[in-house]
Amino acid sequence: MKGAPTSLIDLRILKFLVKQALTTMQLQIQAGCNHAPSRILGLRNRGLDIPCTLIRVLNRDGVEVRTGLYSLTAKDRRIVREWLK
């Protein structure tokens, strides 16, 4: 297990994910994360699981598309809470 991330964006992502699962778009808007999948991969490389479930949503044009919904496992939450202390 690698240590806690030092990037402010990664830390913001984790603070939001501890509270609730978020879609790729929500991560972009709320955490200021331009490329959420790359950031999530980096956090996974630090030892977190961060599962992704594909869900259907409507885009701004009303077209149904699939997007990732990222969440933390119980183990992830314990690790992240330690990192955020």
The pTM of the full predicted model, rounded to 2 decimals, is 0.90
Is 3 part of any domain? no
Q: Phi first, then psi: what are they for 62, rounded to 5°? A: 80, 10
d(CA 4, CA 61): 39
Instruction: Count how many domains the chain has.
Output: 1
By residue range, what is the domain housing residue 39? 8-83
Give the pLDDT score at 64.
97
Is 22 part of any domain? yes
Residue 9 pLDDT > 80: yes
CATH number, domain containing residue 62: 1.10.10.10
Query: What is the per-residue pLDDT across 23-74, written as a single tens digit (0 to 9) for each?
Result: 999 999 999 988 999 999 999 999 999 999 999 999 999 999 999 999 999 9
